[in-house]
Amino acid sequence: MTALLRFADPMYLLLLPLVPLLVYWYVARGRRQVGTLRYSSIAPIKRADRRRRGRFRHALFGLRAVALTALIVAFARPQTGVTAENVTTEGIDIVLALDLSSSMLAEDLQPNRLEAAKQVAAEFVSGRRNDRIGLVVFAGDAFTQAPLTLDYDVVTTLLGELEVGIIDDGTAIGMGLATAVKRLQGSDADSKVIILLTDGRNNRGEIDPVTAAQLAQALGVRIYAIGAGTQGVARVPVDDPLFGRRYAQMEVDIDEPTLQETASLTGGRYFRATNRESLQLIYEEIDALETTEIEVEQFTRYGELFHVPLLFGLGALLLEVGLGRTVLRKIP
């Protein structure tokens, strides 16, 4: 909300220059006027506290000038207003489906595929507004890590806690997609989206990716598929029980034809991320493709404030009259 101040009849403010003119006239007149009084004895004058009374000799005129200024402002009708907005949004329901198979530890994306995917996905989540976001993870099986929610802090926290090994190893892409589709089954959002990220091909689970994509298509769910991995081979850490951790070269094996078919069936797109920078660009492109419609209606309510300067001006006039007839009374 924004507070505003306006005058309903601002033409009256053109009278304000009369106040300094009146002050000038008062000062000029005081310099020209000289009065004389005859006393039979000046003893009472000597006993009078001339400094106390003389100090306030211009107070009556000052009150009159203040009253005139306040009344002019009151006639201009000052008003205060509050501007507010009605925001109508059409949110999008988005489920992130993330591969947690052991191959996601490959270091062709820095620091590795999983960490790069987690960090970029967290940035994507933090940049959304008014969209519900859920999280599904899969390896040899699939489960829901976070249901659809507007609490982005929860989603980003859960993303940060994901590790390889919390699910039996494997790559059940179809199960991951099917679980994500189930999360969106009861959604009434105008747009329902799955962002799938994997680095391999489906080798586990009872549902294959194309069948899961057909389920998504039937429910109006759009799939954006991302294949994460460089071309050729990638370095992967291997934990050896005898010699500890060592590194091996692994062939990058992403089932791009299946991922392309999966995405195209639902009206989505397939992307290939060969490094962290390209992964960031992919999420930025998806972010631009899946925008939330926002309708903003601005309105302003005004309330009258003229009574404040009016009461102040009338008070100054009454004070002038009261003082002029009592403590500041002048001899005619």
Task: List, for residues 58-117, the tens digit of each pLDDT value.
Answer: 788 888 888 889 899 988 899 887 766 665 566 799 999 999 999 999 999 999 999 999
Q: Which amino acid belongs to residue 29?
A: R
For residue 143, what pLDDT is reported?
95
For residue 84, what pLDDT is reported?
65
Q: Rounded distance, CA 248 to CA 236, Å?
A: 5
For residue 108, what pLDDT is reported?
93
> Could you give the dihedral angle defined by the CA atoms of residues 213, 216, 218 and 221, in that order, rounded to the nearest 10 degrees?
-130
Residue 45 has pLDDT above 90, yes or no: no
What element of type H or E holds 251? strand 244-251
Topology given in CATH for the domain delimited by 92-291: Rossmann fold (3.40.50)
Q: What is the mean pLDDT of residues 259-283?
A: 96
For residue 138, what pLDDT is reported?
97
For residue 207, what pLDDT is reported?
95
Query: Would you list the DSSP string of 176-199?
Result: HHHHHHHHHTT---SEEEEEEEES
Q: Does residue 114 contact residue 162 with C-beta atoms inside 8 Å? A: yes
**What are the residue ranges spanned by the domains of the chain?**
2-35+42-83+299-325, 92-291
More confident call, 116 vs 312: 116
- Burial of residue 173 (CB within 10 Å: 0-12, 13-18, 19+) is buried
Residue 2 has pLDDT above 80, yes or no: no
For residue 268, what pLDDT is reported?
96
pLDDT digit string, tens, across residues 234-268: 999 887 777 777 888 999 999 999 999 999 999 99
pLDDT digit string, tens, across residues 124-148: 999 998 899 999 999 999 999 999 9
Q: What is the mean pLDDT of residues 305-310?
A: 87
For residue 55, what pLDDT is reported?
59
| Residues across the chain | 332
- Burial of residue 67 (CB within 10 Å: 0-12, 13-18, 19+) is buried
For residue 299, what pLDDT is reported?
65
Q: What is the mean pLDDT of residues 284-298?
A: 75
Q: Does residue 262 contact residue 208 with C-beta atoms inside 8 Å? A: no
For residue 240, what pLDDT is reported?
74
More confident call, 52 vs 316: 316
> Could you give the dihedral angle defined by the CA atoms of residues 216, 219, 221 and 226, in that order, rounded to the nearest 10 degrees?
0
φ/ψ of residue 5, rounded to 5: -130, 130
Q: Rounded distance, CA 100 to CA 141, Å?
A: 10
What percentage of the chain carries pLDDT values higher than 90?
52
